[in-house]
Amino acid sequence: MRLIEKQINFIRQLMEQLAGGRAQAHVFGSRLDGTEKGESLDLLLELSDSVESPIMLVACMSAKVPRKMHECKVGIFIGTLIPKSYRSMTSDTGKDSFYDNR
């Protein structure tokens, strides 16, 4: 992995600050393979519990991580639990869709 310990620790500390113990960051893409030449950093934020504002979490990570990574491009993807206010239903096509039942 082409991240130095200082960068890894920064990402871990930032995740702890923004999401507490409810999230982990996973690197994927070219940075995971030290032989690839990709310039961007792709992060998957895996949330073990819902957070109040996932969009703000992504926005903060998007703003702070590039500065620590010498302004490299950062792609941030989030995986979270679907809030209880959303219910899954199957359409006539057999594909799942979601609706807000608030």
> In the chain, how many domains are there?
1
**Does 99 score more than 50 pLDDT?**
no
Q: What is the pLDDT of residues 31-69, one digit of tens each?
A: 676 666 667 888 888 887 777 777 888 888 888 888 887
CA–CA distance, 52 with 10 (Å, rounded to integer):
22
CATH number at residue 63: 3.30.70
Read off the pTM: 0.64
CA–CA distance, 84 with 102 (Å, rounded to integer):
10
Residue range of the domain that includes 13: 5-100
Contact 75, 43 (CB under 8 A): yes
What's the rounded mean pLDDT across residues 18-28? 81
**Does 11 score more than 80 pLDDT?**
yes
